[in-house]
Chain A
Amino acid sequence: MSHVLNCKIISHRRVGADCRRLVLAAPQVAQAARPGQFLHVRCGGTADPLLRRPLSIHDVDQEQGLVTLLYRVVGRGTALLAARRSGERVNVLGPLGRGFAPPPAHRRVALIGGGLGIAPLLFLARELVKEEREVWVFHGARTAVELGCADFSVLPVQLLVATDDGSAGHAGSVVGLFRESAAKMRPDWVAAAGPHGMLRVLTSEMRRLDLPGEVSLEERMGCGIGGCVCCSCRIGAPGNWQYRRVCADGPVFAAAEVVWE
């Protein structure tokens, strides 16, 4: 069950290069949320900018009733949100969407995040570790500084990093790093999020390796609850696909079913 809630900001910190980590007091969300779901956030209180912003749930603390969002400041909406201070309240709608659903039989899971695509994977890693699965996290970013947006050191996972400029870890794409490591780690399931281009290359690699998994998609979004049918993506098989709603049918879809533009 999702709700419209005015949540108190517990902390709001700059992380990485131009990202923010926003911790909200939201016990109802913390109880209900699944990895891969998002909150639809009103960044300001006025008619301009008008729409909510879908932000991935980065982490959840059920005991404390806290929900952490991770976002990048890219436009007027996120700039307004970034100016909000601890103690203020933020209007959120959620948790929304269909999250990751790793089948219980798969025990060796690779999580692959490019850029802000890393956001939902911390929460997912936490759940997978609870279920005593082996977890490898592949985190790709443009620079070493940008890698600082997410901290996996709190979890017993293997972290491998890649940067476009070679300032940390593997020099090049995170998909390239995954390709090099896959033979050794022999994953049996993959969860990924990131830019379209990265996910397209990754899903063709997964097909080559006959590796199942899920990817989280992004699209320009309206209502967030499936009413306006604006955030469409193509799901099915090439030549036999349908438009599905990223907000309500996703944002997580089986990797093999995404038909890329």
Chain B
Amino acid sequence: MSVATAVEIAGLKLKNPVMTASGTVGFGEEYAPYLDLSKLGALVIKTVTLRPRAGNPPPRIAETPAGVLNAVGLQNPGVEVLVRDVLPRLARFEVPVIVSIAGETVDEYARLAARLEGVPGIAALEVNISCPNVKAGGIAFGTHPDMAAEVVAAVKRHTGFPVIVKLSPNVTDIRTIALAAAGAGAGALSLINTLSGMVIDVERRRPLLGNVSGGLSGPAIRPVAVRAVWQVYQAVNLPLIGMGGIMTARDALEFIMAGARAVAVGTANLVNPGAAGEVAAGLARYLEEQGIADINELVGVAHRAEGGTAD
């Protein structure tokens, strides 16, 4: 039986619901030898900022139980290098490219959106208001509903691309931020970014990461992420992109059944560079095995299950 895996996110048509999570595959090129990028729904590339950023001092990564703590600090060559060098190189991969942006001020987000407006090779913008590893901006915008709305509105004023807003789990109630982003014109929401965390190096009696604290990802955070998707699905009428510890198609199905129209594979890429492609293939196989004609039938299906009442 032929199954339909295509989904639509903020007007963007994707051949399947599987993306890469920003920051886990660089600009995608490093992964091309291991992963057929054209088999993905979209490639979400590493966050860019207005100016180049050196990133945080090492160590930048620590292994935690079934997870990873990282504090890269948005190292990137800046938007000008992205536009001039990187985006033209990505055209050959024949995959929609979603550009993640972050600023230290509302004005920087607006200027990034303006600089990227109309640039060929971009399918959508993902507004990163949830990076826990930078001193200014980043998560500060993702933890206050008014500031989140201000950033999203500023980006919307300067772009014609679909705008996806990436939410932080480091808040009291993620629905308030989701509602604020939706009210300001977001076309879709990505959730979740990493959870703030920390590891102490007991031998050296000091924080292990150069940045002291970092962002936790991987299978350890999956239940947290699934619940966030579940909650936001009930509160906001926008397409959701679910992520947090997806290693397999079965993990992706949890997010889809909780209400995600698309999913992103992140930390799994660090372990298995072919992971995102395997998740996409696994979803199609599941539909065939279960006799489900269209993956959209599964979006939020758990909410309609008997006994599946509110949270």
Q: Is there contact, CB below 8 Å, between B274 and A4? A: yes
Q: Is there contact, CB below 8 Å, between A227 and B271? A: no
Task: Tell me the complex Cα distance, A229–B65, Å.
Answer: 21
Kindly provide the distance from the CB of B159 to the nearest chain A CB, expressed in whole angstroms: 26
Selected from B31, B63, B66, B75, the residue in CB contact (under 8 A) with A243 is B75
Q: Is there contact, CB below 8 Å, between B61 and A231? A: yes
Count of chain A residues near B, Cβ 8 A = 30
Selected from B57, B247, B269, the residue in CB contact (under 8 A) with A227 is B269
Q: Does B242 have its Cβ within 8 Å of any Cβ on chain A?
A: no
Q: Which candidate, A65-73, A104-112, A180-188, A215-223, is the interface stretch facing chain B?
A: A215-223
Task: Tell me the complex Cα distance, A229–B23, Å.
Answer: 9
Selected from A51, A52, A223, A231, the residue in CB contact (under 8 A) with B60 is A231
Task: Tell me the complex Cα distance, A221–B31, Å.
Answer: 16
Interface of A is mostly: loop
Q: Is there contact, CB below 8 Å, between B273 and A47? A: no
Selected from B23, B57, B218, the residue in CB contact (under 8 A) with A228 is B23
Q: Is there contact, CB below 8 Å, between B219 and A47? A: yes
B30-46 near A? 1/0 per residue, CB < 8 Å: 11011000000000001
Q: Is there contact, CB below 8 Å, between A222 and B34? A: no
Q: Does A226 have its Cβ within 8 Å of any Cβ on chain B?
A: yes
Q: Is there contact, CB below 8 Å, between B34 and A4? A: yes
Residues of chain B within 8 A of A248, CB atoms compared: 30
Kindly provide the distance from the CB of A225 to the nearest chain B CB, expressed in whole angstroms: 5
Kindly provide the distance from the CB of A208 to the nearest chain B CB, expressed in whole angstroms: 27
Q: Is there contact, CB below 8 Å, between B66 and A229? A: no
Residues of chain A within 8 A of B25, CB atoms compared: 227
Residues of chain A within 8 A of B272, CB atoms compared: 4
Count of chain B residues near A, Cβ 8 A = 35
Selected from B26, B63, B269, the residue in CB contact (under 8 A) with A229 is B26
A228-B24, A228-B270 as given contacts; A50 in contact with B68, CB under 8 Å: yes
Task: Tell me the complex Cα distance, A1–B32, Å.
Answer: 12
Task: Tell me the complex Cα distance, A225–B35, Å.
Answer: 12
Q: Is there contact, CB below 8 Å, between A50 and B63? A: yes
Residues of chain B within 8 A of A52, CB atoms compared: 270-271
Kindly provide the distance from the CB of A231 to the nearest chain B CB, expressed in whole angstroms: 7
Q: Does B62 have its Cβ within 8 Å of any Cβ on chain A?
A: yes
Q: Is there contact, CB below 8 Å, between B26 and A228? A: yes
Interface residues of A in 79-103 (CB under 8 A from B): 93
25 contacts between A and B (CB under 8 A): A4-B34, A4-B273, A48-B219, A51-B61, A77-B63, A219-B59, A221-B61, A222-B270, A225-B31, A227-B24, A227-B30, A227-B270, A227-B273, A228-B24, A228-B70, A228-B72, A228-B270, A230-B60, A230-B72, A231-B58, A231-B60, A232-B75, A242-B54, A243-B58, A243-B75
Q: Nearest 4 A-B pairs (CB), nearest first?
A: A230-B61, A227-B26, A48-B66, A226-B30
